[in-house]
Amino acid sequence: MKKLFKLIKGNRLLYLAAMMAIAISTFLSTLEPMVTKVTIDSIIGNKPLDVPAPIARFVVFLGGKDVLWRNLWICALCLVAITSTRGIFLFLRGKLSSQAAENIARNMREKLYDHIQNLPYGYHVKAESGDLIQRCTSDVDTVRKFFANQMVDIGRAIFIVTFSLIMMLSLNKKMTLIAMIIVPFIFIFSYVFFNKIKSTFEKSDAQEGVLTSILQENLSGVRVVKAFGRQTFEIEKYEKENAKYRDLTFKLIKLLSTYWSLSDFLCMTQIGLVLMSGIYFAVKGEITLGTLVVFNTYEGMLLWPIRQLGRILSDMGKMTVSLGRITNILEIPEEQEHGKALKPEIQGEVTFENVTFEYDKDSEVLNDISFTVKKGETVAIVGPTGSGKSSLMHLLLRLYDYNKGSIKIDGIELSDIERKWIRNNVGIVLQEPFLYSRTIKENIKIAKLDSEDIEIENAATAAAVHNVITSFEKGYDTIVGEKGVTLSGGQRQRVAIARTLIKKMPILIFDDSLSAVDAETDRLIREELKKKSADNTTFIISHRISTVMDADKIIVLNHGKVESIGTHDELVNKDGIYKRIWEIQNSLDTFDEEDNKACNE
């Protein structure tokens, strides 16, 4: 209830107005049977007015029993007026509650999206995107439906029970007691049902998230599925999980059908008991015919919210589960600034001093890393797969925080510099570039939204992709499709490079991002970068020696440690990993040259 009260913040007046509307409409609905009773017993019949005082005074106001007997249309008009007014307030109730529910859903989606954007990088590495989509869409919609319907239905049920009991007690206490005999059993049954439905829906909802994850994963990797002919395997995998979801949903439906059938039986039994008791008391003369009609009407009104309690509780159970899944995300701490959150003017000097880092305990990725990079230098990082090259750059971007040691930029501790400020001054081109389903121009402008066309073209030229773009029919206005699917791997990579270069940053990182382009394009890009080297400190991660050999400094990593540091000439004359890689690649290049020469001859 605390969570619910917190969620409706900003919409409490709307809900208060909706509750007032439902209270008035419910009160009016309890007056309708009283009009029928007065008409049967006191207008058509000769019984004295045996109704609450306000209703009796209203009869007198209309002219008394004699006038109403000669003008029965007035009684009918009263019923029409009450029903019409009740309809107006029911409309207001629906409008106000729906408006509040939509506001809550909008706020919840925005809060979720904003929170997910600010969660640590480490969380996104482990999270399943399909499950996150499920929580941001289906779970939010479940909460919205509850606030639009069941939230006010709870109020309606309370008002109906309260007003009906007051009216029934004012007419006959014995009949009221009989009318309430089975009600406690229905309440107990509904409570048991609530616990059952909650646990079952939780499993069903989680399984739906699994289905969404599989679907999202397959749509993203459809080319891999087709390339390896894995359609049958993927279909079987989806069918297996879909069958689990069907079984859980079917179990949910069986629970609902059991509840509705048993609750119908209990409610009909209660109505039958009131009807038989009423007939017995009416024959004995203890109650009037009008009172019998009123009690049967009120009994139906009383049992409706109690019977609906199962539906309200089942939807509340679903809402509780969905709200819990949403809250689980919102309770995950966002990236925190533990340092001073400084925003210095970054020049580009980088120093690593005895840096140690691990993703998990007892699993060191980097161990005692130390080196210094001066402003404007181009530094290459090479090493076997898993040696910690990308992890090193992740630390520089503050995607993760180092466990021991010190990283300084221009003499300032990295942890004291605001994360967002670091990322605005350190540009990175990833090995697997991501392009949005927009035009090429829009994809390049993402890094700098106010960039001019000439800046976009200059960045594309530096990335050796300008000529490729202009060869397209629509040029820079070409839609690249989802994830840039209409472009080749090398073209996507070069557009991503242009996107990074358009925003002049003092530090640039190329995380094995030149491997997707051919050797000639690689050379052209490096030449452009060399022209800018006075203004930028550049880190290049690569397995290709031809890409790194012109770097001012080459850092060789092996098993998370610095094996050696030097220039290309120094490292090829020194035993180690770099020399072995150079010899292997050099021999392959020689073989390719001889092979090409033989083919030409």
Residue 113 buriedness (CB in 10 A; 0-12 / 13-18 / 19+) = exposed
H helices, E strands: number in the chain: 24, 10
Position 307 scores a pLDDT of: 67
Find out whether 541 and 389 touch, Cβ atoms under 8 Å. Answer: yes
Residues with Cβ within 8 Å of residue 505, at least 6 apart in sequence: 424, 425, 426, 427, 536
- What distance in Å separates the CA atoms of residue 541 and residue 185, rounded to the nearest whole number? 71
pTM equals 0.70
Find out whether 343 and 418 touch, Cβ atoms under 8 Å. Answer: yes
Q: What are phi and psi of 470, to 5 degrees?
A: -70, -20
Closest by Cα among 558, 561, 594 to 579: 558
Closest by Cα among 128, 71, 138, 84 to 108: 138
Closest by Cα among 478, 542, 487, 465 to 509: 542
Position 88 scores a pLDDT of: 92
88-131 tens-digit pLDDT: 998 998 888 888 888 888 888 888 889 888 888 888 878 777 77
Position 62 scores a pLDDT of: 66
Neighbours of 112 (CB within 10 A): 19
- What distance in Å separates the CA atoms of residue 540 and residue 392, rounded to the nearest whole number? 12
- What distance in Å separates the CA atoms of residue 513 and residue 572, rounded to the nearest whole number? 24
Handedness of CA 218, 222, 227, 231 (dihedral sign): positive
Position 1 scores a pLDDT of: 66
Amino acid at 287: I
Neighbours of 400 (CB within 10 A): 17
- What distance in Å separates the CA atoms of residue 490 and residue 514, rounded to the nearest whole number? 8
Neighbours of 529 (CB within 10 A): 21
Identify the structural domains of the chain with CATH numbers, from first to last: 101-330 (1.20.1560.10), 350-433+502-600 (3.40.50.300)
264-273 tens-digit pLDDT: 787 788 888 8
3-state class (DSSP) for residue 61: helix
- Partnered with residue 561 across adjacent β-strands are 558
The ranges of the chain with pLDDT < 50 are 591-601
Write the DSSP string, 437-496: SSBHHHHHHTT-TT--HHHHHHHHHHTT-HHHHHTSTTGGG-B--GGGTTS-HHHHHHHH
Find out whether 415 and 394 touch, Cβ atoms under 8 Å. Answer: no
- What distance in Å separates the CA atoms of residue 99 and residue 16, rounded to the nearest whole number? 13
Handedness of CA 357, 359, 362, 364 (dihedral sign): negative
- What distance in Å separates the CA atoms of residue 36 and residue 46, rounded to the nearest whole number? 14
- What distance in Å separates the CA atoms of residue 428 and residue 430, rounded to the nearest whole number? 6
